[in-house]
Amino acid sequence: MKPVEIKTAPPEVRVIFDDIMASRKVNDVNNFWKYLANEPRMLKHTWESLKSIMGAGALDPMVKELIYVAVSVTNNCDYCMASHTAAARAKGATEAQINELYAVVALANMTNRLANAYKVPVDEQFKPRD
């Protein structure tokens, strides 16, 4: 699949590209959006979802980028690690925070498997209550 470039994008793609550039105050869109534009419906839904969830909300936007990186490291997605680590840094994440993030992600992947292996039953105090 080839990327869809801004200049030659069909109208339903162009309107999303324009919204991405306006929202982010930039003059170009990342490769992710150019490739995803091969499926204009998914381009629209993915952009609208991210625009809605990743901005101002209950969690700090920088924290949400760190969470994005945590999932991407667990799944080993190179593109997503690169783009969301850059976004976290742009929103203020320090090198010490990124290093600590990696440590937490690694430990969680470790203890997830220990809990699987030992089939640890959930403690009473962690269970939902009515």
Interactions with its own copies, residue window 10-69 (CB under 8 A): 30-32, 35-36, 38-39, 41-42, 45-46, 48-50, 52-54, 57-59, 63-64, 66-68
CA of residue 9 relative to chain centroid, distance: 25
Residue with smaller CB distance to its own copies, 18 or 115: 115
Residue with smaller CB distance to its own copies, 18 or 71: 71
- The distance of closest approach from Cβ of residue 18 to its own copies in the complex, given in angstroms and rounded to an integer, is 19
- The distance of closest approach from Cβ of residue 22 to its own copies in the complex, given in angstroms and rounded to an integer, is 19
Q: How many helices (H) and strands (E) does the chain have?
A: 6, 0
Cα distance from N-terminal residue to C-terminal residue, the chain: 51
Cα–Cα distance for residue pair 4/13, rounded to 1 Å = 9
CB 37 within 8 A of CB 13: yes
77 interacts with its own copies by CB under 8 A: yes
- The distance of closest approach from Cβ of residue 60 to its own copies in the complex, given in angstroms and rounded to an integer, is 8
Of the residues 13, 83, 88, 91, which one makes contact with its own copies according to CB under 8 A: 83
Q: Which of 104, 100, 98 is nearest to 86 (CA)?
A: 98
